Amino acid sequence: MKFRKAITLIETLLLIIVILLALLLFTTNMGACNGDNMNAICAANLRGIGQAMYIYVQDDPQVFPAISGPSMDGQMRVFDPMDRIGPPDVNGIPSPTVDLWTVVRANNTTPKQFICPWTTDVQDPAMWTQDFYDFASPQNLSYAYQFQHDPDRRIIGTSSEPSFPFMADSNPYIKGGVNADILDDRLSDSHGNSTNHRLRRRGQNVLSQDGHVKLVTTPAVGLYGDVAPELGIHGYDNIYTVWDTASPIYIDPGTDAPTATWCNLGGRSDACLVP
């Protein structure tokens, strides 16, 4: 009778290595699948909000929500407790978060749709959404909205440029809390992206006026045009910053960061999504 040779130490080590590699590959693939799923959910959220905007304009003259009048000096406020519990003053300081809550209040969408699955944000606690006029806190809103209250540009609506970005993952310099210099941040590994999608700020989903949602790895996805015409330099507008109006810039490559109390656009092509 022949006896089978025992497994050697080398064979045992090779077997362990193969098992570990298989586990590593499985974990990596699962992580990629989970990431793809979260990106898809985030994109679906923005697409749904875009549809809610178009439902909203059926009862409004062709423009997306802009509850207050223009802000001549760029003042704004977000997540204001007084706006939460009472109707905002249409002649007061404008609030992009009040603008966004408008489609929730109209029952065109739900608070859950405003949460990016990459974040630790949670659904707004309102049981009866029509009782409120704003999101309760920054932890209840993952997305940024075009600042609609600048006197130098028209309010975004159904007749606006189809490729104009009007929503995206939250602004890194307001809700994201990034304090780095704008240029340094753009040149870093983070590329000036939103902080929503983790893993080194890998990018953001952006919703355009025509309802199209795209995952991009740079915030320079606004309108294309002259950045420095005297030098023949062209580029795309940075969706998270505003022009330095003292410079001869026509498309903003990323100059000034807005704050939670200020957003002053440089012109009709300037997109700045807040908060």
* CB-CB contact of 95 with 80 (8 Å): yes
- Tokens representing 250? 């026509």
* CB-CB contact of 136 with 80 (8 Å): no
Determine the Cα–Cα distance for residues 235 and 121; give it in Å rounded to an integer. Answer: 33
Closest CA to 261 of 274, 252, 244: 274
- Tokens representing 224? 């294309």
- Bridge partner residues of 274 (DSSP): 145
pLDDT of residue 30: 45
What is the greatest pairwise CA distance in the chain?
Answer: 98
Average pLDDT per consecutive 10 residues, the chain (275 residues; last block may be shorter): 61 69 56 71 96 88 89 92 92 95 95 96 95 97 96 88 95 94 90 88 94 94 81 85 73 87 88 96
pLDDT of residue 33: 46
Look-up of token digits 């490729």: 163
Q: What is the DSSP letter of 270?
A: -
Residue 1, Cβ neighbours under 10 Å: how many? Answer: 2
pLDDT of residue 245: 66
Determine the Cα–Cα distance for residues 234 and 225; give it in Å rounded to an integer. Answer: 5
User: Per DSSP, which regions of the chain are E strands?
Assistant: 143-146, 165-169, 204-208, 213-216, 220-228, 233-238, 273-274
DSSP for 202-269, please give it: --EEEEETTS-EEEESSSEEEEEEEEEGGGTEEEEEETT-B--TTS--SS-SS-B--BTTB----STT
Look-up of token digits 């001869």: 248
Q: What distances in angstroms separate CA 123 from CA 46, 240, 268, one per listed residue?
A: 15, 24, 34
Non-local (6+) Cβ contacts of 176 within 8 A are 170, 194, 195, 196
- Tokens representing 249? 């810039």
Classified as helix, coil or strand, 89 is coil
* CB-CB contact of 222 with 237 (8 Å): yes
Residue 237, Cβ neighbours under 10 Å: how many? Answer: 29
Determine the Cα–Cα distance for residues 179 and 196; give it in Å rounded to an integer. Answer: 16
**H helix or E strand, kind and range, residue 28:** helix 9-56
Determine the Cα–Cα distance for residues 147 and 24; give it in Å rounded to an integer. Answer: 45
